[in-house]
Structure 1
Amino acid sequence: MKTVLITGANKSIGYETAKYLAAQGYYIYIGSRDINRGQQAVTQLQKEGYTSVEAVQLDVTDASSVQKAKAYIESKGGVLDVLINNAGILGQMPQQAGSVATENVKEVFETNFFGVITVTVAFLDLLKKAAQPRIVNVTSGLGSLTLHSDPAWSYYAYKTAAYGTSKTALNAYTVVLAYELRDTAFKVNAVDPGYTATDFNEHRGPRNVADSGVFIAKYALLDADGPTGKFFSPEIAGEESPW
């Protein structure tokens, strides 16, 4: 059975991604900073008939926590087929470039950017043992410099000096990582679930978490001919988003 680790998967889009992949026959590790919330998510999934799931305490901003999670998953079989870097925070609002607190930006980057690097580097050797390893970095359309430079874009006015810039940095890391792994079986992509109704936006987004979870899972399920080093969004015609 193939295995998947999803960070921040105890609720919302991460939870729905876990549920969809469990339905496809994957064994799911629910990465959760709060292990109790992770276990609650597992209990709910099991009630819905998804038994191949378990919670793992994982705080992406805590290297020790990440290493403990890695050691545990390694002890269970030594291989990880899919890593979905989903954990993320919005940060304190508002986030005007001319007044945002540096500490606010640093806090957001710790989770959304540095946390992804910490987790990815830690689990890379387990992924390399898989036949078709996949890495999905959950990003946002707000990380696209091209779209942010287009006044015709629907979300042109949604500028965030901490959250959006952290996703731009994440996109850049995705490009570099995909390039380094280009001659392997890895597929590494940045995936934007679209403007989804979640706690992030007080549930104002037009998309629902179930559909967004399926969209993210799609890029975890790529076959050998699938793309790598790309940026995808359901809100873009053809799904490939400009950087």
Structure 2
Amino acid sequence: MKIALVTGAGRGIGREIARQLVEHGMTVFAGVRNESHAPEGTRPVLLDVTDGGQVASAAKTIGEEFGRLDILVNNAALCGDFGVAPAEVTAEHMRVTYEVCVFGVVAVTHAMIPLLRASGDARVVNMTTRLASIGLTSAADDLNAEWPMLAYNSAKSALNAITVLYANELRESGILVNAVDPGHCATDLTGHTGTRMAAEGAAVALRMATLGAGGPTGTFSSEEGPIPW
């Protein structure tokens, strides 16, 4: 049986990813800030990704019980500058957003790497967005014009770079690391403005989480296919 951890699993896309992994017969640790918010069938674990103690405790819990982790989905996110024009974004907007979307991902991944290595066939999925694409942002398409979030978009660009660096180092351990865009989903993060349901957004993450041996690593994609960096 595969062992999975999903951060930010208490709501939205993360909750759906955790639920769908359970449906695939996996033991799923739901990283939540309130255990009562964990999806049915999951194993709740208190996990604020900005809390080093909770990150270490989650790794210890999984390690002591299973000795390995087969799937890590870094889903927890925060948009500290929703609705704020780029010129109005402050350093504090950046700090708050990067703390969760960048430093939190590194903290959790770093803590779980020994367990991922122990799997020998692990998968890491980093939830990002096409708004992080430098290529698409440069093209100034309609989506980027509508959502010009300096802190959030650049934090996810950093996450894309982190994805590639982890992928390059960990591929020889059989660990595949990929970044995925779930699309514009109606969740709390987007103020429920999206046109897709959270369950639809979870699909691409589930596909990458269940890749077979020899699958891609270090990629950035959506359900429609590759996205330019």
Aligned length: 228
Task: Please give the residue correspondences for 1:178-193 in structure 2 after superposition, counting only pairs within 5 Å.
Answer: 178-193=167-182
**Which whole-Å deviations, capped at 9, do the CAs of 1:204-226 have from their partners, x for residues lacking one?**
21111111112211100000121
Cα pair 1:95 1:162 within 8 Å, conserved: no
Q: Residue 155 in 1 paired to residue 143 in 2?
A: yes
Alignment partner for residue 240 of structure 1, among 208, 222, 226?
Answer: 226
Structure 2: gaps (5+ residues):
none
SS in 2 for 1:199: coil
Tell me how large the CA RMSD over aligned residues is. Answer: 1.2
Secondary structure, aligned partner of 2:48: coil
Structure 2: distance between partners of 1:102 and 1:211 = 34
- The answer as to whether partners of 2:163 and 2:179 remain within 8 angstroms in 1 is yes
Q: 1:217 aligns with which of 202, 206, 209?
A: 206
**Superposed displacement of residue 84, structure 1:** 0.3
Deviation at 1:133, TM superposition (A): 0.4
CA distance in 1, matches of 2:215, 2:87: 41
Farther-moved stretch of structure 1 (119-128 vs 8-17): 8-17
The aligned residue for residue 110 of structure 1 is 99
User: Aligned AA for 2:179?
Assistant: A
Q: Secondary structure at the match of 1:56?
A: strand
Distance in 1 (alpha carbons) for counterparts of 2:35 and 2:93: 25
Q: Match for residue 35 of structure 2?
A: 35
1:40-94 deviations in whole A, cap 9, x for unaligned? x3xxx2xxxxx4x210001100111100111111111111000000000111433
**Identity in percent:** 39
Matched, 1:87 2:76: yes
Shift of 1:156: 2.8
Instruction: State the TM-score, normalizing by the size of structure 1.
Output: 0.90
Unaligned runs of 5+ in 1: 46-50
Q: Which has the higher helix share?
A: 2
Output the TM-score relative to the length of structure 2.
0.96
**Residue 68 of structure 1 aligns to a residue in which SS?**
helix
